[in-house]
Amino acid sequence: MLPVIETIFLRQMASGDRLFLQVYKFVGDQPGKKVYIQSNLHGAEIAGNAVIHQLIEFLLTINATDLAGEIWLVPVCNPMGTNERAQHFSPGRYCTYEAKDWNRIFWDYEKEADDLVEFTKSQLHLTPKVVRQNYLTIIQEQFAKLLEKINSPTSVPFTESFRYQLQSISLDADYLIDLHSSTNQALDYVYYFCNREDSAKYFLLDFGILLDKYDGDAFDEAFIKPWLALETLFQQLGREIKFDIEAWTLELGTGMQMNPDSVAKGVRGVKNYLIQKGVLQIHNLPYQTKNDRMSFFTSSKRKKYYAIAGGMIQSRVELGTQVKAGDQLYQILSFNKESKLPSVIDIFAQESGLVYDISTNQAVNQGEFVLGVIS
């Protein structure tokens, strides 16, 4: 089947050149869910582009009858980030004009939903499907007001028109998948939200991290936070309801790389997820159902180590090492300009855990990131 391809104007630069988003929409013959998948929101995190490319190649080979609902794919979704260069490297994590993380700029309906309790009360006796539609309508109405501001004489900083474009095409999705990697070097894992552990296993990855504390500014958070809030309110008012709405951030390896193994895991995971969710309905696709040996962690237990002194990192434990409190994590080879010999500083683990992220750069100014441990 062929996708509908939509090109969306994103930004006019000072030179008059224009940047765009491009959405590949595969629309099935059968009704169903809307799946939204994007990649490369952080400029260095390119692995997801290969994942989306391979998904497109795959979807071109199936029939529209094999697809229930729609799959929207948005590769290279942040041209500003993707194209930024610092000499030969690709930083692209932040909008440097505004000093903002490109993935901490999104609009979270819940922050302005003052009357959510009242709304919930009004929906207590309606079917989940109707509630879903009513709530989405309110979110969309509120969201539409952002456009007025964008088009007013004051307009808005670029991050606000950028988020508007990405959220305008994803706000009504049922399943949202944001393909990241470490900007540095990390394991392959998935970030998931409260009560979505079972679906997380469909991605067939070895690790999952529950986002247990967050502010709603990341893309996945901003999408799902209003729905989780509604679920909680229903519960408080005595009714259990769980919307079939899910948001995922897949972390696929190392920044500036499209590691074939990480890419393959990403493709396999997304395809299996779509099959398990009934979006892909193809005979004899030989996939596992879920990974039952998956390890789960919680994001609030991530502990980052920053260099206590400037210098060069050496003898660092490998990515994926399970460390115990007191184990040596790394050394700083510390030079000085005070007529002394260089020294070596040993750094030991404060707590036990899994080394899930390490810095690509082994030179550190004091206070720069060295590695992350999760327990």
List, in order, residues 6 or more apart from 148 with CB less than 8 Å away: none
Unique residue bearing structure tokens 């991530």: 302
Give CA–CA dist 40/178, Å, rounded. 9
Instruction: For residue 61, state whether it binds a second copy (rule: CB under 8 A).
Output: no
In terms of phi and psi (left: phi > 0; alpha: psi -120 to 50; beta: otherwise), the region of 62 is beta
Q: How far is the CB of 372 from a second copy (least distance, A)?
A: 10
Dihedrals phi, psi of 332, to nearest 5 degrees: -110, 120
List, in order, residues 6 or more apart from 189 with CB less than 8 Å away: 205, 206, 207, 208, 209, 250, 251, 356
Instruction: For residue 112, state whether it binds a second copy (rule: CB under 8 A).
Output: no
Among 314, 320, 324, 352, binds a second copy (CB under 8 A): 314
* Residue numbers 182-211 binding a second copy by CB under 8 A: 183-184
* Residue numbers 149-188 binding a second copy by CB under 8 A: 151-162, 183-184
Choices 63-71, 170-178, 211-219, 367-375; region in contact with a second copy by CB under 8 A: 367-375
Give CA–CA dist 112/170, Å, rounded. 19
Q: Which is nearer to a second copy, 50 or 224 (CB)?
A: 50
Instruction: For residue 65, state whether it binds a second copy (rule: CB under 8 A).
Output: no
Among 94, 202, 227, 273, binds a second copy (CB under 8 A): 94
Among 1, 25, 27, 101, binds a second copy (CB under 8 A): 101
* Residue numbers 16-55 binding a second copy by CB under 8 A: 16-22, 24, 40, 43-44, 46, 49-50, 53
Q: How far is the CB of 157 from a second copy (least distance, A)?
A: 5
Give CA–CA dist 207/33, Å, rounded. 26
Closest CA to 20 of 34, 6, 32, 30: 6
Instruction: For residue 348, state whether it binds a second copy (rule: CB under 8 A).
Output: yes
Helix, strand, coil percentages (3-state) for the chain, rounded to 5, are: 30, 30, 40
Size of the site for a second copy (CB under 8 A): 103
Among 222, 266, 334, 357, binds a second copy (CB under 8 A): 334
Q: How far is the CB of 155 from a second copy (least distance, A)?
A: 4
